[in-house]
Structure formats: C-alpha cells, structure tokens
Amino acid sequence: MVNDVHPRVAAAHDRLAEVVADSGRLIRCESPSADLAAVARSADRVAEVGAAIVGARPERIVSAGCVHLRWRWGDGPRRVLVLGHHDTVWPLGTIDAIPFEAGDRIRGPGCLDMKAGLALAFHAIAGLDDPSGVTLLVTGDEELGSPTSRELIEAEAEGCAAVLVLEAGADSGALKTERKGRAHYVLTFTGRAAHAGLEPHLGANALTALGSAVGRVAALADDTEGTSVTPTGAEAGTADNTVPELATLRIDVRARTVAELVRVDTATRGLVPADPGVALEVAGGIDRPPLEATMTAGLFRRASALAEGLGLAPLTGAAVGGGSDGNLTAAAGVPTLDGLGAVGGGAHARHEWVDTALLGDRLALLTALIEDVLAETGAGDLP
C-alpha cells in the first residue's frame, strides 16, 4: 500500500488474508437450497465462522425446516440491516469438481453468490467501534425466492434507516441500484388420454394446447419496457402411442415496474386453451417486486461520497435483471442498496470467481457506510 492511502482502506487491506481464508471456510461447506440438511450444516459453519470474527453467536431461526441466522447488536432501535444468504445453487459434490482456490481469484461453488459477501459482512461489522443498532440477517433460501424467510426479512427491515445487501457487485464492481421484479408460473394443461393410433379423435391433447400457449405467453414480453416473459421448461406425455392427458409449462417473468408485472400476471391468468376439451390451471405469481432507483438513490449518493473520501475508485450503479432480497426490503419502503458484496463474475456458472484484490476496497466501503448510517449523518440524504 502507498503512503497516502486512507487509514481505513489500509486497515481493510491488512485483513484481506483473513477475509479470503474465511471465505474458503464458508465455500467448503456446501449449501444447496433445496437440501435442508445441507443448509443446516452450512448454518452451523456460518455461525461458527461469524462468531469467531464478530465475537458473538447468532440466533438460530428455523422456518419450515430451513435455518436462518440473526445477529443483533445493542438494545436500542434498529438502524442498519445487513442482509445476506448462505444457500447456493450448487448440488452436493460440486466442491470436488470445483475446489476452493485462492490467488488473484477466489474460486469454488458459491464464492461470488455469496460466500465471500458473508465474509465481508462479518469483517465489516467487526471493524466498527460500536455496532449497536446493526442487525445481520443471513437467510437459507434466497435462491428459491425466499419462501420461508420473506416475512422475517421484512420484519427485520421495518424501522431501519438502511438495508445493505451483500449480493455481488455488477460488472466491474458497480452497485446494483435497480433490479427487475419477477414472477414465476406453472401452467398445467389437463386433457383426455386416448390411443394415438386407434382413436386419437376421442382424446384432448394437453401437449397441443401447451404448444399453442407458448407463443401467446412469449408475446407478452415488451422489450421497450424491459419486460421479459420466458418459457423455461415443459413436460408432457406418458407413452409414444397415447394422446397426452397432462402437460406443464414453466414461465419466468422479469419487469422493471409493478404495472408490468401486473399486466403479465393478468394476461397469464386469462389464458384460454385452444382446445375446449383441455382445462388450464395457473399456479405461481409475482414473488419479488422491483427494486426501483428511487429506493437506492440516497444510499448510492452517500456511498459514492464515502468512496471519494476514502480515495477509492468512483462508484457506478447498474440496473440488472436478477432479483434479490433487496427487492423485498425496498418494496417495504426501506432505503436499500444492493451489490455491496464481492466483485467478480460467473454467478451460477462453473467459472464463478471473485476478484481478490478488490475485497479490501469493498470491506473499507462497507464498514464506512454502516458507520455513517449509524451516526445519522452523512454525505447524502436518505430518501
């Protein structure tokens, strides 16, 4: 480090080796979201690693078998919610194929999304002179859409001045100042089976009805509004010589505004099968509202001013299609800033990686931002 570097930045870089090592401890304990036993083991590891860094054990919260962890400091009002998750998209055994590596880049399943982000959260809180007013919530089902943690997240965010989300930064480290909302649907077509050779006319073909619906569903997308409607999977049929009685279609929807999500939701629920002999059931719906720029602007200005004061590279913001738990807290009316975690690439891909050199700067920024919000003063006004 050069002599004119800010002392907070220097201190953060001095802890870089610890952040990397702690990231490795978390990465090596696999935590596929749908495997509750694996998530429970991961929660044990996260609690162990976190307690060693911050000097306190978390509260263990189990909801529908999924383990979430909560640390709270101080007895006064909650000021800052630091939000992360310890589940990943990777199945058990991935660590054998993609082992943890640390050099210029950190590798391993879930390194970017978001085990390194958790390590940053622990070290940032440990670096505060007084963390009173901080809550750290680490959930275990974010990759599934937070079905068991949503109410907990919204409750912990209530009354806070800021929610800081430790998801990975966007390209080149940009903070995530906008996220699309999302909806998921499963369309089930139920027809009538018949022998495909002897009497196909007596059947009602669920697969044909599904095929007709695919084009109508895809046509709901609107590029000018940034709305995508993507058929992502389909299943149908039981035998080569049988008219399919059952077919299912899965759909992923992303949109920048609530109005667009509602438009697509209304149209999807209003679909009528082309064959009147086929019934349609629509399951699912809107599960994450958008994270809109109005809910991030104040915190982004604040973080940008802090970064300048620390001598860090200027911050940039990015609008992204993926959702996070930050969508939930922003929709609840709490100022939220996302993408404060590690910087790298390849989230949810086998080449997932973290830029080791940038972890120190990220740690310095996160520590300063938490401290600044706790002090109720800062370089920018919260919305």
Catalytic residue among 22, 113, 142, 371: 142
Query: How many angstroms separate the first and last alpha carbons of the chain?
Result: 36
Domains of the chain: 7-180+290-374 (3.40.630.10), 181-288 (3.30.70.360)
The pLDDT assigned to 32 comes to 98
- Is the CB of residue 230 less than 8 Å from the CB of residue 215? no
Q: Which helix (H) or strand (E) holds 97?
A: helix 94-97
Count how many residues are written for the chain.
383
The pLDDT assigned to 3 comes to 56
Q: How many Å apart are CA 30 and CA 7, to the nearest integer?
A: 36
For 250, list phi and psi in degrees, rounded to 5. Answer: -105, 140
Give the CA distances from residue 348 to residues 32, 84, 89, 145, 322, in Å, rounded to whole numbers and listed in that order: 12, 16, 7, 15, 12
Is 143 annotated as catalytic? Answer: no
The rounded average pLDDT for each run of 10 residues, N- to C-terminus, in the chain (383 residues) is 79 97 98 98 98 98 98 95 98 97 97 98 97 98 95 97 96 92 96 96 97 96 96 95 97 94 98 96 95 94 97 95 93 96 95 96 98 74 46
* Residue ranges with strand state E in 228-351: 228-236, 246-255, 279-288, 317-320, 336-337, 344-345
Catalytic residue among 22, 30, 87, 178: 87
The pLDDT assigned to 321 comes to 87
Q: How many Å apart are CA 283 and CA 186, to the nearest integer?
A: 5
Is 130 annotated as catalytic? Answer: no
In sequence order, the β-bridge partners of residue 8 are none
